[in-house]
Amino acid sequence: MEADVKTIQYANYINGEGVDGKDLVEVVNPATEEVVGRMALASEKELVSAIQGAEEAFHEWKGMSADVRAGYLEKFYEKILQRTDDIARMITLENGKPIKEARGEVMYAASFIKWYAEEGKRVYGRTVPSKGADQRIQVWKQPVGVVAAITPWNFPAAMITRKLAPALAAGCTFIVKPPKETPLTAVLLMECAEAAGIPKGVIQMVLTDDEVFSRTIQHSDQVRKLTFTGSTEVGKLLMRQSADTMKNISLELGGQAPLLVLDDADVDKAVEGTMASKFRNAGQTCICANRVYVQEGIYEEFVMKLKQRMEELTVGNGLDEHVDIGPMINQDGYNKVSRHVDDALDKGGEIVTGGREFDRESLSRNFYAPTLILHAKDDMLCMTEETFGPVVPVQKITSDEEAIRLANQTPFGLAAYFFTESMSRGTKIAEALEYGIVGWNNGAPSAAQAPFGGAKQSGLGREGGSEGLEAFLETKYLSIGI
C-alpha cells in the first residue's frame, strides 16, 4: 500500500546528512489544498553549521580539476534524468503546474547541469603584454567561494539548477534555501546529488525562516556570494543588507513584459508566440508577456485567433495529462489576478473570454480562467504591474514609435517580445527595447546556453550562458617581476 504522503516528513540536507526538525512546514497542493508533505524547518544553528561545512568543502572542491568536477555534474545530470517522473510529479503536486510542463521543467533543470559540466572546462584567464621587459601580467579566474541561493516557487527545480550548476562548475560550494511553497522538489534534487556522489558539504539545502536565513547569511563573511530570484522589493532589501559584508550579488527580479505585434507579423506565429509566452505555468513566470500591444491593421485577426486558442485551453488539476492551465500558487496569487481583472473592468476594459467563475468542483479556490481583456489602457494595474496569472490585456497601437515608447514605459526590463517579418523594422525595435531578453518572433527564449536576466529594476547580473559562469568567478591579477 502506498504511504500516506501527508504523513511524510522531509529533511534538510546539511553536510551530507538528512537533518530532521521539530518545526515543520506544511506543503500544500494548490490544486486541491491538500497537504503534500511536511518539511523540516532548520534552525539558525543548523544554518551556521551548513555554512561551516560549505566553507570546509570549498577548499577541496575548488582544488579539483574542472574535468573531475564535470564528472560529478554529469553523474548528477544522469541521476536527475533517471528520476524525471518522480521529480515532475512532485513539481505538479507542490506547484500545481501541468504534469507535461513539469516534465519539461525537469529537462530544463537538468540541461543547466549538463551544459555547465562542459562550460566549467572553459574558464580561461589571459596573459597581457606588460610595459616593461621585467614584468609579466596574468589574469586568473577563481571561484568566488561559498554561495548562498534563495530560489522561487514558480520553477521549483530549474531555478535551483540554473544557479547551482555554474556555481559548482566554477569551483564554488552552494547553500540553497528553497521556498516554503515548494521545498520538496529541492529534497529530491538533493537525493540525486547524493546519489551522484557529490562530496559532502558541496551542496547544502537549508529551509529556514526568511529572516533567519538573510540575517545569518548577510552577517557571514564566509558566504561570499548571494544569488536570488524573486521580487524586486525583496531584491532591493537583500542588496542593501549585502553591503555590510560586501557580497558579490546576482539578482533575477520581477518583469512586466510587453509583447508587440506589428502589422506585418505572421499572425499565426504571433498567436502561438503569445500562447507560449503567456500561459507557461499559468502565467506565473517572470518573463511571461504581461501586456500586449497590437497594431491596428492586424488587430481584429490577432484578437479573434488568440481568443480561439485561449478557449481551447483545459484548466484543471495538473496531474491530469490533458490539463494546460493549473492553479495560482495560493489565494494571494489568485487575489492579485482577480484585483487586476476587476480594475481593468472598472477602467473600461472588455472581457471577451474568461474572467468568470468556472466549475470548481473538486478543485481548490486557486484557479483562474484564461482571460482576454480588450481596450486595455496605460493606467490599468495589468498594464503597469506584473499580474502573474493567465490574463492577456490587449491595447491597439498605430506606429512602431508608439510600440517602443509604451514597451519601455516601465521601471522593469526583464523580457520583451515582438513579432514582425521585417528585418529592418525588427532590428530597430530590438535595439530600442530596454530589456535584458528580447524574443523576436519567439515567445520561449529561455535556454541553458543563453544569458537570462534583466535591465533596469529587473535585476543585476545574468544566469545561463558563459555570463552565468562568470557570475561565480573572481578575477585575480598576478603581476610577476622577472
Q: Which are the catalytic amino acids?
A: 252, 286
| Cβ closest to ligand SIN, residue 10 vs residue 452 | 452
Task: Return left, alpha or beta for 31; rule: phi > 0 is left, psi -120 to 50 is alpha, else beta.
Answer: alpha
To the nearest whole angstrom, how small is the minimum distance from the Cβ of residue 446 to ligand SIN?
A: 3
The set of cell numbers assigned to 121 is 572546462
| Cβ closest to ligand SIN, residue 287 vs residue 341 | 287
| Cβ closest to ligand SIN, residue 61 vs residue 228 | 228
The set of cell numbers assigned to 153 is 516557487
Please, which residues have CB within 8 angstroms of residue 393's CB and are 6 or more apart in sequence? 291, 292, 344, 349, 373, 376, 380, 382, 383
Q: What is the CA radius of gyration of the chain?
A: 23
> CA end-to-end span of the chain, whole Å?
74
Please, which residues have CB within 8 angstroms of residue 339's CB and are 6 or more apart in sequence? 381
Binding site for ligand SIN (CB under 6 A): 154-155, 229, 285-287, 446, 452
Task: Indicate the residue whose CB is closest to ligand SIN.
Answer: 446
To the nearest whole angstrom, how small is the minimum distance from the Cβ of residue 390 to ligand SIN?
A: 15
CB atoms within 10 A of CB 482: 8
Please, which residues have CB within 8 angstroms of residue 446's CB and are 6 or more apart in sequence? 108, 287, 452, 464
| Cβ closest to ligand SIN, residue 12 vs residue 285 | 285
Residue 63 φ/ψ, nearest 5 degrees: -80, -10
Q: Are 233 and 385 in contact (CB under 8 A)?
A: no
Q: Which long-range contacts (CB under 8 A, 24 or more apart) does 464-470 make?
A: 464/112, 464/162, 466/119, 466/122, 468/116, 468/162, 468/166, 469/116, 469/119, 469/120, 469/123, 469/166, 469/169, 469/170, 470/141
| Cβ closest to ligand SIN, residue 125 vs residue 451 | 451
To the nearest whole angstrom, how small is the minimum distance from the Cβ of residue 442 to ligand SIN?
A: 12
| Cβ closest to ligand SIN, residue 216 vs residue 284 | 284
From the list 443, 448, 478, the residue with the least C-alpha distance to 466 is 448
**Residue 58, class by beta-carbon neighbours within 10 Å (0-12 exposed, 13-18 middle, 19+ buried)?**
buried
To the nearest whole angstrom, how small is the minimum distance from the Cβ of residue 251 to ligand SIN?
A: 12
| Cβ closest to ligand SIN, residue 119 vs residue 386 | 386
To the nearest whole angstrom, how small is the minimum distance from the Cβ of residue 185 to ligand SIN?
A: 15
| Cβ closest to ligand SIN, residue 182 vs residue 446 | 446
To the nearest whole angstrom, how small is the minimum distance from the Cβ of residue 286 to ligand SIN?
A: 4
CA distance 416 to 258: 5
Please, which residues have CB within 8 angstroms of residue 129's CB and are 6 or more apart in sequence? 137
| Cβ closest to ligand SIN, residue 100 vs residue 375 | 100
Beta strands in 8-50 (DSSP E): 9-10, 12-14, 17-19, 24-28, 35-40
To the nearest whole angstrom, how small is the minimum distance from the Cβ of residue 452 to ligand SIN?
A: 6
To the nearest whole angstrom, how small is the minimum distance from the Cβ of residue 351 to ligand SIN?
A: 26
From the list 404, 411, 479, 416, the residue with the least C-alpha distance to 445 is 416
CA distance 261 to 267: 8
Mutual orientation of helices 183-195 and 84-95 as an angle, nearest 10°? 160
Strand partners, 140: 476
To the nearest whole angstrom, how small is the minimum distance from the Cβ of residue 76 to ligand SIN?
A: 19
Instruction: Sheet with 146-150: list strands edge to edge.
Output: 17-19, 12-14, 203-205, 173-177, 146-150, 223-229, 248-252, 459-460
